[in-house]
Amino acid sequence: MAEIIVPILTPFKGNKIDKEILKEHASSLLKAGVDRIFVNGTTGMGPALSREEKETTLRAVMEVTEKVIFQIGGLNMDDVKYLAKLAKDLSVKTVASYAPYYFTGLPRWLIIKYFKEICEIHDEVYLYNYPSAVGKDVDAETVSEIGCIKGVKDTNDSINHSLQYKKIPNMKVFNGADTLVMTAISTGLDGTVSAAANFVPDVLVNIRERVLKADIGSAMRLQFMVDELVSTAKGFGYIPSIYVLTKELMGYDVGEPRPVLFPLNESQSMELLNKTREIFEKYSWSKK
Ligand SMILES: O=C(O)C(=O)C[C@H](O)[C@H](O)COP(=O)(O)O
């Protein structure tokens, strides 16, 4: 069955990671039907975390579950290798990394070397491919050349782009776009990695159930609702909005994002929540 993987938000209180909130949120999402927790992804503000903070989030989530993908990418290879070794020592099943970002024009050999060095330390490495953020597309041909990648999370609006990785034998492939949850589940990918799973895990689980029952029409309607929720949230700033939506919809405090991703102010939060309620009413959706 296609997996629903959540790139879990990182809860901050006073700019410090709140481990207890993170554990509660991870536990609550698993209870809601999420299959694995992706730690230190984009939604988790991975690039804004120090090496020590990436270790903190991992250890906290590992107290709740072993169903973890540990994102270790960064621009200091010593830190990346330290985190890969930590994952091995803690028996973390899967690590993931985006390609080196910000530095443009990196040649193919350098990208390949980056991932091969991680594979020398850990035996289950996923590529987190996010071309619009990283500035380079680590495509299926490059993944084949790297030779040791076991899975790909492809944040891409093109499902065809994600499907190309499936031509590599035994490759696990997930799509990371919130707008392609239903498509990822129904086109033979291995699942979705959806930031929206932080605040509407029940909806994503419902989409999967309806696809499995071949009730594509109603699955599509739920997908359109998710599209509107996400598009509305992006209007205020997606990641800061996720904290507001998660608190409201999951019913517990999840702290705040870390500046530079400044939290929404009171009036922005109210406006977002009012628009969100209107969308739920439009689709006659109510939490069970
Ligand atoms: O957060 C993560 O680590 C994810 O895997 C999910 C997506 O990569 C991000 O939500 C970015 O998606 P966009 O906002 O559509 O660019």
So what's the ipTM on this one? 0.94
The CATH code of domain 3-213 reads 3.20.20.70
State residue 287's pLDDT score. Answer: 78
| pLDDT, tens only, 186-213 | 999 999 999 999 999 999 999 999 999 9
Q: Which residues of the chain have pLDDT under 70?
A: none
Specify whether 128 is catalytic. yes
97 touches ligand 1 (CB under 6 Å): no
pLDDT of residue 56: 98
Nearest to 43 by CA among 271, 201, 180, 243: 243
* pLDDT tens, residue by residue, 114-161: 999 999 999 999 999 999 999 999 999 999 999 999 999 999 999 999
Segments making up each domain of the chain, as ranges: 3-213
Per annotation, catalytic residue among 98, 114, 126, 128: 128
CA of 62 to the centre of ligand 1 (A): 22
Give pTM, 2 decimals: 0.98
200 is in an annotated binding site: no
Mutate to test the pocket of ligand 1, among 29, 34, 43 (most ligand atoms within 8 A of CB): 43
Query: How do strand 36-39 and strand 68-71 relate by DSSP bridges?
Result: parallel
CA of 97 to the centre of ligand 1 (A): 13
